[in-house]
Copies of this chain bind each other. A is one copy, B any other.
Amino acid sequence: MDDKAQSIIDAKAKVLKALGHPTRLFIVEELARGKRCVCELVKLVGADFSTVSKHLTLLKNAGVVQDDKRGQMVFYTLKVPCILRFMDCIEAVIVSGSCK
């Protein structure tokens, strides 16, 4: 495999890895319903502000979300909504049975 192919794989893996954490996946699914400020997500997730902020930073670096500062609040939105359509397939993996 050449360098270019490798870096494409790496970039895709990075996106998938970003989605591969329960809290971050929850955030992404919540953002699919509309923009949310960090404070709202903190309440929904039930973790520390700093923890949620770091998850959001990671999602942003992966290109999954984008932020929009309004006054003292920061709103996050899903950057690539097609990610949500994929979830049907992931659910198919789950119900197919051999998840341990």
* Residue positions of A touching B, CB distance < 8 A: 1, 6, 8-22, 24-26, 29, 44, 60-64, 66, 79-80, 82-83, 85-94, 96-100
Contact = CB atoms under 8 A, between A and B. Distances in A.
A63 B98 contact: yes
A15 B94 contact: yes
B15 A17 contact: no
A100 B14 CA distance: 10
A93 B81 CA distance: 10
Contacts of A12: 25, 87, 90-91, 94
Main secondary structure of the interface of A (DSSP, over half): helix
Given A6-B22, A14-B99, A80-B93, 17 more contacts: A9-B29, A12-B90, A12-B94, A15-B93, A16-B16, A16-B25, A16-B90, A17-B21, A61-B98, A62-B93, A63-B93, A63-B97, A63-B98, A79-B98, A80-B96, A83-B89, A86-B89
